[in-house]
Amino acid sequence: MLKPMFIFFGRFGIRYFAGWLAPVKEELLKSNLNILFEVYVGKMITIAVLAFLLTFNFITFAFTISNIEFTLTIISAIILAGVVSASILTIYHSYPFHLLTSKKNSIEANQPFALNHMAAIAASGVPPFVVFKLLSAVPEYGEISNESKRIVRNVDTFGMDMITAIRNVADRTPSVEFKQFLYGIIATIDTGGDLKTYLQNSAKDALFGYRLRREKYLQTLSTYADFYTAVLIAAPLFFVSVLSIMSLIGGQIFGLNIPDAMRLGIFAMIPLLNTVFIAFIHYTQPSL
């Protein structure tokens, strides 16, 4: 039942919203979601339309039995249904991008160690295909392992030569650094260069860049530590000390008496600020 709707809305969306959907097509190709662009667009629009209708009917029914004015009911239902529908469109539109970002972070986080492993394998004199095949068997390398599996699949299943198989993966990978690395392998194989030397040099450069990024982040953490000490340790102590003295005098702060203000600060504001700070550190730390 839904398949004809997917096809209809897919063609409709591609025809009338080509500009808005253009980035989705490219990201969908690189994210390896294994779904046709037309079907993905059809699902996105179909679910958004169904969500609009269901939300509109639910809000209308709920407001009607609550004896709310008809005009307000209709306006509210349209606005809320529009918000739900727009949210679904936004999620579908951005999902391939978030998938690519996650894939890119995984590749760049594991690249220094994967390249070092590749250099060690190549030192034994095995061909490039064996290097990628052995790398694909190490799941700890995350998306680099998956990219290696695609190269092996291109050769084993699709019958591509090694250069074409690597170029196919390089054109789709979201990481610019890994793309340059793969094209470097292609150039080395194409020109008859020493692949072992290329991999060793690439591994050294990647590890050096990794150390620099870690050192830079440690310096940033030092700044965050100073900020934490000043704002979340010293300031609350000063706050409690001042309020303790003020409680002897009496008065109010923002309509609250001093003891209540102290309880609010100690049991609510300080834990909340600490939670926000921990979340900030977690989401800003590099995956490299």
Average pLDDT in the 68-91 region? 91
- Give me the DSSP letters along the chain: -HHHHHHHHHHHHHHH-HHHHHHHHHHHHHHT----HHHHHHHHHHHHHHHHHHHHHHHHHHHHHTT--HHHHHHHHHHHHHHHHHHHHHHHHHHHHHHHHHHHHHHHHHHHHHHHHHHHHHTTT--HHHHHHHHHT-GGGTHHHHHHHHHHHHHHTT---HHHHHHHHHHH-S-HHHHHHHHHHHHHHHTT--HHHHHHHHHHHHHHHHHHHHHHHHHHHHHHHHHHIIIIIIHHHHHHHHHHHHHHH--EETTEEHHHHHHHIIIIIHHHHHHHHHHHHHHHS---
User: pLDDT band for position 38 (50/70/90)?
Assistant: confident
Q: Any idea where the domains of the chain sit in the sequence? A: 2-103, 105-209, 225-284
Give 129-142 pLDDT, tens digit per residue: 999 999 999 999 99
**Residue-level pLDDT at 193:** 87
**Residue-level pLDDT at 188:** 93
Give 190-226 pLDDT, tens digit per residue: 998 899 999 999 999 999 988 888 888 888 888 888 8
**Residue-level pLDDT at 50:** 92
User: pLDDT band for position 241 (50/70/90)?
Assistant: confident
Mean pLDDT of the chain: 87
**Residue-level pLDDT at 287:** 63
**Residue-level pLDDT at 245:** 80
Give 80-115 pLDDT, tens digit per residue: 999 999 999 999 999 999 888 889 989 988 999 999
Q: Using a cut of 0.85, tell me whether the model's pTM lies above it.
A: no
